[in-house]
Amino acid sequence: KLEGGETLLPRLVTASFGVTEYRDGDTPDSILKRADDLMYEAKRKGKNQVVWG
Protein backbone atom coordinates (compact mmCIF):
# COMPACT_ATOMS: atom_id res chain seq x y z
CA LYS A 1 0.00 0.00 0.00
CA LEU A 2 1.30 3.43 -0.91
CA GLU A 3 0.85 6.09 1.72
CA GLY A 4 -0.79 9.34 0.74
CA GLY A 5 -4.03 11.20 0.39
CA GLU A 6 -7.16 9.91 -1.25
CA THR A 7 -7.19 9.99 -5.04
CA LEU A 8 -9.49 8.79 -7.77
CA LEU A 9 -6.55 8.03 -10.05
CA PRO A 10 -4.75 4.68 -9.86
CA ARG A 11 -1.20 4.78 -8.60
CA LEU A 12 1.28 3.21 -10.94
CA VAL A 13 4.69 2.00 -9.91
CA THR A 14 7.35 1.40 -12.53
CA ALA A 15 10.56 -0.57 -12.12
CA SER A 16 13.69 -0.34 -14.24
CA PHE A 17 16.72 -2.49 -13.50
CA GLY A 18 20.31 -2.54 -14.67
CA VAL A 19 21.90 -5.94 -14.15
CA THR A 20 25.56 -6.79 -14.49
CA GLU A 21 28.10 -9.28 -13.21
CA TYR A 22 31.67 -9.21 -11.98
CA ARG A 23 34.30 -8.93 -14.71
CA ASP A 24 38.04 -9.43 -14.22
CA GLY A 25 39.54 -6.23 -12.87
CA ASP A 26 36.23 -4.79 -11.64
CA THR A 27 36.07 -2.76 -8.47
CA PRO A 28 32.93 -2.34 -6.38
CA ASP A 29 32.62 1.19 -7.80
CA SER A 30 32.94 0.04 -11.42
CA ILE A 31 30.27 -2.64 -10.94
CA LEU A 32 27.86 -0.13 -9.36
CA LYS A 33 28.51 2.45 -12.08
CA ARG A 34 27.86 -0.10 -14.84
CA ALA A 35 24.62 -1.25 -13.18
CA ASP A 36 23.56 2.38 -12.69
CA ASP A 37 24.29 3.23 -16.33
CA LEU A 38 22.27 0.19 -17.43
CA MET A 39 19.35 1.20 -15.21
CA TYR A 40 19.24 4.65 -16.83
CA GLU A 41 19.41 2.97 -20.25
CA ALA A 42 16.33 0.94 -19.27
CA LYS A 43 14.55 4.15 -18.28
CA ARG A 44 15.46 5.84 -21.57
CA LYS A 45 14.10 2.83 -23.47
CA GLY A 46 10.68 3.24 -21.91
CA LYS A 47 10.86 2.03 -18.29
CA ASN A 48 9.49 -1.19 -16.82
CA GLN A 49 12.29 -3.37 -18.12
CA VAL A 50 15.59 -5.00 -17.29
CA VAL A 51 18.78 -4.20 -19.21
CA TRP A 52 21.68 -6.64 -18.86
CA GLY A 53 25.25 -5.74 -19.63
Domain boundaries, the chain: 17-52
pLDDT at 5: 65
The answer for 40, left when phi > 0, alpha when psi is -120 to 50, beta otherwise, is alpha
Q: What does the pLDDT look like over 29-51, one tens digit per residue?
A: 999 999 999 999 999 999 899 99
Check the CA dihedral 13-21-25-27 and report its sign: positive
Mean pLDDT of the chain: 90
The C-alpha atoms of residue 44 and residue 22 are separated, in whole angstroms, by: 24
Say what the pTM is: 0.75
In this prediction, residues 9-13 reach a mean pLDDT of: 79
pLDDT at 10: 78
